[in-house]
Amino acid sequence: MKNNYLSIIGLAYRAGKCSLGEDIIVNDIRKNRAKLVLLADDIGTRTRKKLINKCETYDVPFVFVEDRETLSNAIGKTQRVAAAILDDGFATKIQSLLR
């Protein structure tokens, strides 16, 4: 059941409710568009610190998921270490599946 969240991430991306890229994610956090930030376990320390600090400052929940390969495969892109979910419904569903 835990891997079902990967298909929800893929759906969110295809629906246009997911942003990728460090600068875009930070911008979405600042503008309160990001409802949930997903971070790969093997994210770099600088990027990890930057995204976690932004999430904590703007009160955006974040969760760690498997490695970058798993996250990238769910989205259909390569070398993705973070993604922001921009829809409350998708964010709630992903959080419930990760518990």
Rg (CA), the chain: 12
Report the amino acid identity of residue 16.
G
pLDDT tens for residues 15-69?
999 999 999 999 999 999 999 999 999 999 999 999 999 999 999 999 999 899 9
Q: Please give the domain boundaries of the chain with CATH numbers for all domains.
A: 4-98 (3.30.1330.30)
Phi, psi of 63 (to 5 degrees): -135, 150
pLDDT tens for residues 7-19?
999 999 999 999 9
What pLDDT, on a 0 to 100 scale, did the predictor assign at position 1?
42
What pLDDT, on a 0 to 100 scale, did the predictor assign at position 99?
84
The percent of residues above 90 in pLDDT, for the chain, comes to 92
Residue-wise DSSP of 42-67: T--HHHHHHHHHHHHHTT--EEEES-
What pLDDT, on a 0 to 100 scale, did the predictor assign at position 2?
55
What pLDDT, on a 0 to 100 scale, did the predictor assign at position 80?
94
